Structure 1
Amino acid sequence: MLRNLQTHGYENHCNDDTNDEESGGGGDGETAGNGKDMLARKLSTKGDTLYLERRVGLFSGVALIVGTMIGSGIFVSPTGLLIRTGSIGLSFVIWTVCGAMSLLGALAYAELGTMNPSSGAEYAYLMDAFGPMPAFLFSWISTLILKPSQVAIICLSFAKYAVEAFVDDCGPSDFAVKIVAVLSILVITYINCYSVNLATGVQNAFTAAKLVAVFVVVTGGVHKIFQGHTEHFYNYFGNTTTSIGDVATAFYSGLWAYDGWNNLNYVTEEIKNPSKNIPKAIYISIPLVTVCYLLVNVAYLTIMSPAEIMQNEAVAVTFGIRALGPIAWVIPLSITISTFGSANGTLFAAGRLCFAASREGHLMNVLSYIHIKKLTPMPSIIFHSIITIMMVTSGTINSLIDFFSFTAWIFYGSAMLALLVMRYTRPDAPRPYKVSTTIDKTG
């Protein structure tokens, strides 16, 4: 029931003139190939053994980005940001700058993704710019550390809020939280193995649900503003920290809340018309998330003072109790929906990275198989899930966040460096989308 996608088959098929014509290679000039010059198919053909089918449209692309970005971060990160910045003014500046950084990073990835519309994101771009060794190192670090730890953090957050609704004031036990987290991993593994359409359908539904939840919080905040609850919006920059270290660590909290902006590039091979839909999805999703985050922070401040937010890790839950009254249960439910959707999207992307790297021979051969009927990279998804379960059983949310954030941004920066390098080494390569930079050999 599984089919192997090996690099040598990849090359032979792509060097076939008839198959080049079938793929529409002369039409859009999109090149792909992890260091090889091969044409990406406009559409997958029936029985195609080389590409995952293009079944992810613009709406699903937006849902994948928004659904993975809006996880638990906006519900817990405001506390860390205010503690480190000392003022609501600087915290809002950092929320905005983190959004701008994510947008600029995503636009750089959009150019890379349309230059090389194969799955794998950083892996494919490091291969193109620097060769197999950096790509090899990234594939192993990401497969064994980055992606599993990211899914583990999200699933632990999901489990914490899901279990909290059924326990007393003493709070949930660590054992119960980890059991629920493992069960959630098994569920999203089944969803992603069963069908691409099911995985994207779940992602679309949960993204819509979490946007409704954000809308409820923002509406509650607007209602409080009209009632005159604006006393916490004065003296914006009072008590602002003067420590560069505090500001730097505040960015960790903010960037974690925005993480997921690059997930669409992991599934480029499955996106319909990637040269148009990748930039469109980025321009829609990241500004949308940034505006949502700023409005949610405004809503929190209509209910709680900055000092109260600093002392409250479950700031969203407190907001629900004070602003929503008898329907306060909507907030914990919204957080569980949000985190579950984020975990689903993250695992969806992680499986494609592992699949792309193993197809090049950089990971175990079995991970380059796909299910012959369902056309999902089942072995790579299951492999990621096993490592994620190991991390869930042995780690905590805070330790995993610290573990993930620093390493992840090293590779994000490496991918952006790859863009600048290829402006010099491959100035004439087709670029259906080109982000503006000040470093450009062709001007």
Structure 2
Amino acid sequence: MSGTAAEDPGTQPLLRPFSPGGPGADYSSIRKSTDSDASVESRAEGADVGRSVEDGVGRSVEDDVLPETAVLGRNLGWSSAYILIISRVIGSGIFATPGTIVSSVGSIGLSLLLWIAGALVSWCGLAVALEYGTMLPRSGGTKVYLEFTYRWPRFLASTLVAVHAVVLGFTASNCIVFGEYILFASSKEPDPAAVRLLAVALMTSVTVMHGCFLRTGIFVQNMLGWVKIGLVAFMVAASAAVVVLGYSRDFDDHGTASRQAEFPTTWDGLWEGSVWNWGIVSTALFKVFYSYAGLENVNNVMNEVRDPVRTLRSAATTALITACSLYFLVNVAYFLVVPLDDIKESGELIAALFFERVFGPTFGRIFLPLAVAVSAAGNVMVVTFALSRLNQEIARQGFLPFGSGFLSSSLPFGAPLGGLLVHYVPSVVVICIPAKNIYSFILDVEGYPGQFFSLATSLGLIWLRTKRPDLQRPYTAFLPAVWFRILLSLALITAPFVPRAGEEGSAHLFRVSYALVGISVILFGVLYWLFLAVLLPSWGQYRLEEAADVLSDGTTVTRLVRVPREDNT
């Protein structure tokens, strides 16, 4: 490749050294190729595409500022990166959570306000992810950022990310929604056993496709992503037609038309019934945030993205604008078509009620709910794709059992099958938990621990601004947005423990159970680190050191080596 850092910052190392050459120094001797043609050419010449620098296997944390090409090559262009984000964001959330949100906060106005607030907060989080992602353009996302920023206590950041990814890095909620909507379309009651069977079947199929047929999996998830965007746009258009034509249908079991939706026409009516308790609002916000979750999805797979820096900035911003617009319009569509009381009682089937009212009991109940199920399946595909890469990066760093072998490699089918299996097992376990309303609980458990990582990355970004001015930042986050994200993360961490009026001790304990589970996972990570990195080395009189190695498929890995301590150390 040719060009300088000034000409093409997306393909250059992002560390500005204090050398006589200055910022314009020639890095061509160490930089990695970032386009697909060059990576294919280097592999053809027998080069080790997993290496960070030309003169050896680079696994130092400082190498994170250098683009790295995966052994799989750079298979993701702009459109694939955009779909990887938007298909992750638009999953089951917008089709399932509005009913539970309105039921908890009580009014249309407060519900819409939360969706707008979710977009603004998501922008703050995206700004942090964009600065980190363009500054450290490596696969792994939060793992890379925390390891680079928090190097002491040694191995703690890596261990916490590893435990969180393995224990809570599951894909269960969208699998469950897939099963519910398939059964709803078949006019069957959503039997819990049948829902879980369909959910496990979906998870298994996606794992096999991504693990054995890499390019086919990318093609299918791209296709499902565009179908999903079209579906949401179609819902908005359908609600507009209902308003313009004054036509909607709602049928009971006997085919008799039922009551019509009445959207409030006054300001007071819009906010009637609002519940402003912060504990309730924060729980609803978790569900909104879940619906926006995934804007950082490409950060986990940067090693496979062509022109990663430029693609990340453009695709992520476009996806946020798309999601914000569609989410607000779809919520308005629900309120225009479905009566508020029905929405509050709909649970996760609000979209199915919408389709049935607009298109009747045949088309509305069968074909369009199937489209929602397909949308949920598309979300499962992109989440599995990204999290399997995160698991692979964790394994490459040496923090998973047997991670330096099968779990780190791309054998035998040229895909991270080990990382996929690490993702598959906890997902199936969570899907099979025989608990009522498991969907809402999963959303809360997934969202709560993430606030600790959001807080850590946001604080770390401000710290790096002061301590590491030598780092090039192709994207600079708006500082007030970063501080707002810090304050909000603190508020959301404490919110579950704010008591509600008239709430007894046992009821309060049950309500905060999701937060206690999340905190338990983080504490388990701390204890695991303490045992692995502190107590065992102390008892065994050794210290842990990192040694780089290369697997047979060209993947560079880190092995944790026990080095005997000297008597005086």
* TM-score normalized with structure 2 length: 0.68
In structure 2, C-alpha distance between the alignment counterparts of 1:308 and 1:112, rounded to whole Å: 43
Spell out the pairing of 1:30-429 with structure 2 (5 A cutoff): 30-31=13-14, 39-43=31-35, 44=39, 45-46=42-43, 48-50=48-50, 51-52=69-70, 53-131=73-151, 132-148=154-170, 151-168=171-188, 171-228=189-246, 231-234=262-265, 235-313=269-347, 314-325=349-360, 326-328=362-364, 329-363=366-400, 364-366=403-405, 367-371=407-411, 374-394=413-433, 396-429=438-471
Do 2:139 and 2:389's aligned partners in 1 also have CA atoms closer than 8 Å? Answer: yes
In structure 2, C-alpha distance between the alignment counterparts of 1:236 and 1:227, rounded to whole Å: 23
Residue 22 of structure 1 deviates from its aligned partner by 9.7
In structure 1, C-alpha distance between the alignment counterparts of 2:481 and 2:190, rounded to whole Å: 53
* TM-score normalized with structure 1 length: 0.86
Residue 135 of structure 1 deviates from its aligned partner by 2.7
In structure 2, C-alpha distance between the alignment counterparts of 1:74 and 1:439, rounded to whole Å: 25
Residue 200 of structure 1 deviates from its aligned partner by 2.1
Residue 276 of structure 1 deviates from its aligned partner by 0.8
Do 1:30 and 1:116's aligned partners in 2 also have CA atoms closer than 8 Å? Answer: no
Aligned AA for 2:234?
V
Larger radius of gyration: 2
Residue 291 of structure 1 deviates from its aligned partner by 0.8
In structure 2, C-alpha distance between the alignment counterparts of 1:215 and 1:324, rounded to whole Å: 16
Do 1:24 and 1:41's aligned partners in 2 also have CA atoms closer than 8 Å? Answer: no
Residue 409 of structure 1 deviates from its aligned partner by 2.3
In structure 2, C-alpha distance between the alignment counterparts of 1:138 and 1:200, rounded to whole Å: 30
Do 1:147 and 1:346's aligned partners in 2 also have CA atoms closer than 8 Å? Answer: no
Aligned AA for 1:130?
Y
Residues 381-433 of structure 1 deviation map (CA, whole Å, 9 limit, x = unaligned): 12211222122222532332222111122213322222222112211201122
Structure number with higher relative contact order (C-alpha < 8 Å, ≥ 6 residues apart): 1
**SS of the counterpart of 2:274?**
coil
Structure number with the higher helix fraction is 1
Q: Which residue in the other structure is 1:14 paired with?
A: none
In structure 2, C-alpha distance between the alignment counterparts of 1:384 and 1:243, rounded to whole Å: 36
**SS of the counterpart of 2:120?**
helix
Aligned AA for 1:401?
L
Moved more, 78-87 or 289-298: 78-87
Q: Which residue in the other structure is 2:510 paired with?
A: none
Residue 380 of structure 1 deviates from its aligned partner by 1.1
Moved more, 404-413 or 229-238: 229-238
Identity of aligned residues (%): 25
In structure 1, C-alpha distance between the alignment counterparts of 2:130 and 2:122, rounded to whole Å: 12
Name the CA shift for 1:352/1:23 in 2 (closer, same or farther; >3 Å).
farther
Do 2:172 and 2:427's aligned partners in 1 also have CA atoms closer than 8 Å? Answer: yes
In structure 2, C-alpha distance between the alignment counterparts of 1:352 and 1:428, rounded to whole Å: 29
**SS of the counterpart of 2:469?**
coil
Unaligned 5+ segments in structure 1 are: 1-20
Aligned AA for 2:263?
H
In structure 2, C-alpha distance between the alignment counterparts of 1:41 and 1:416, rounded to whole Å: 30
Residue 346 of structure 1 deviates from its aligned partner by 0.5
Do 2:287 and 2:443's aligned partners in 1 also have CA atoms closer than 8 Å? Answer: no
In structure 1, C-alpha distance between the alignment counterparts of 2:139 and 2:277, rounded to whole Å: 41
**SS of the counterpart of 1:261?**
coil
Given the alignment of the two structures, is residue 434 of structure 1 paired with residue 476 of structure 2, yes or no?
yes
Residues 282-328 of structure 1 deviation map (CA, whole Å, 9 limit, x = unaligned): 11101111111111111111112322211222111111111022421
In structure 2, C-alpha distance between the alignment counterparts of 1:121 and 1:248, rounded to whole Å: 26
Q: Which residue in the other structure is 2:486 paired with?
A: none
Count of aligned residue pairs for this structure pair:
411
**SS of the counterpart of 2:445?**
helix
Unaligned 5+ segments in structure 2 are: 16-26, 51-68, 248-260, 483-569
**SS of the counterpart of 1:324?**
helix
